[in-house]
Copies of this chain bind each other. A is one copy, B any other.
Amino acid sequence: MAKTTDITTFFLETRTHTKEICNPLEIEDYVVQPIVDVSPPKWHLGHTTWFFEEFILKNHIKDYTVFDPDYSFVFNSYYESMGKRVVRADRGNLSRPSVNKIYEYREFVTSQMEALLNNQPSKEILQLTEIGIHHEKQHQELLLTDIKFILGNNPLLPIYETSFKEHPIEGQEQQWISIAEGVYEIGHSDNSFCYDNELGRHKVYLHPYSISNKLVTNKEYLEFINDDGYNKFQFWHSEGWDWINSNPINAPMYWHQIDGKWHHYTLGGIKELQLDLPVTHISYFEAFAFAQWKGCRLPTEFEWEIAATNFNWGTRWEWTESAYLPYPNYKKAAGALGEYNGKFMVNQKVLRGSSVATSVNHARISYRNFFQTKLRWQYTGVRLAQ
């Protein structure tokens, strides 16, 4: 656990960074929700703020008066124990509270929190604050990927920020890293911050495997497309095959064929496809089919965790073959925070690593991200195993 002064700094930096992410936006960009998975930016601003108010200020400041009693209804995401809430699909139907009002709400809660942290906070307050900071960092990534979806699906294809670098190049040669058979330890191991789903640390038996030292590139993925990979059922799960056949899906999200040439939309605008960059914005179904086509497979999350120190990671969330399940001796937190992770442990796949959209201090080897198998709007990627 960090010291009080450190955590205040950490808190304020995080709160500021959220605003910085929104700097390039027009007011209108804060409002829309083009698909149910993408939340309006102003909702992220309000929700991350509500989290501090609901879980800390209301319980730890005597006679605390909430900024607006309706906000609990508007900015609750999924905490059933915290009462009724706007259904997720309706977030984009709400023009009020206005963006300015939500920024006022942020200022209010930030300063209340700052005062609290500067006044000999209890250990519980410090712990909850740490969770709130990490919660906001998670939303910072969603904020960026949701902004990308909002702008990238607008027919005008507006630029978010010209200088945004999505794609660090992986120049090294592709090699297979071999890992020996045996019993390994998995899970978060020191006393730094982690989520409950990274615990408890436990043993797994791994069979011998090898794993690639680099991510699959656009060039390799294009070969799969050009070999008609989207039309060959033998590489696909049955559910994946149904999905690509009942939706117009024949390339990664944000790829466009313009005058016979592949382009991709990035946060820096629409560009001709850069072949040497790691492929991104593909679903688990596509990652799996690509691996099958290549005669390989995806690693399990355990294989990934054990091998990770041998390769570079951090530009793409890497799909694994592992279903998102509790570790042995997994324990949910008491109360509403117990809803943070556990109740999503079904019908999702684990992604490991982090991405170009992940905030600083929010990546670690034991981190378990998870999404449904058809989702593509995150900066996902593929690393092969054998």
Contact = CB atoms under 8 A, between A and B. Distances in A.
Interface string A18-34: 00000000111111111
Interface in A1-48: 26-34, 42
Contacts of A151: 95-96
Interface in A130-161: 150-151, 153-156, 158
Interface of A: 26-34, 42, 70, 73-74, 78, 80-81, 86, 90, 92-99, 150-151, 153-156, 158, 183, 202-205, 207, 233-234, 236-241, 284-285, 288, 321-323, 325-326, 328-329, 338-339, 343-347, 373
6 contacts: A28-B31, A80-B233, A95-B150, A237-B346, A239-B347, A321-B325
Contacts of A96: 26, 28-29, 151, 154, 156, 158
A168 to B, nearest CB: 29
Chain A at the B interface: SS class:
mixed
B155 A86 contact: yes
Contacts of A202: 207
Contacts of A207: 202-203, 328-329
A237 B95 contact: no
Contact of A92 (B26, B32, B285, B338): B32
Contacts of A329: 207
A31 B31 contact: yes
A32 B94 contact: yes
A378 B238 CA distance: 21
Contacts of A78: 238
Contacts of A326: 321
Contact of A154 (B26, B94, B156): B94
A239 B346 contact: yes
A151 B42 CA distance: 17
A98 B28 contact: yes
Contacts of A322: 325
B95 A28 contact: yes
A215 B203 CA distance: 29
A27 B81 CA distance: 34
Contacts of A80: 233-234, 241
Contacts of A99: 27-28
A96 B155 CA distance: 9
Given A155-B74, A207-B328, A95 B183 contact: no
Contacts of A237: 343-346
Nearest to A38: B93
A333 to B, nearest CB: 12
Contacts of A93: 32-34, 92, 150, 153-154
Contact of A97 (B95, B156, B284): B156
A278 B99 CA distance: 37
A278 to B, nearest CB: 23
Contacts of A74: 155-156
Given A240-B346, A346-B373, 20 more contacts: A26-B95, A26-B96, A27-B28, A27-B99, A28-B95, A31-B31, A70-B156, A86-B155, A92-B92, A93-B153, A95-B150, A96-B156, A97-B156, A202-B207, A207-B329, A234-B338, A237-B346, A238-B343, A239-B344, A241-B343
Which of A153, A239, A373 has most B Cβ within 10 Å?
A239
A346 B283 CA distance: 13
A236 B343 contact: yes
Contacts of A288: 346
Contacts of A33: 93
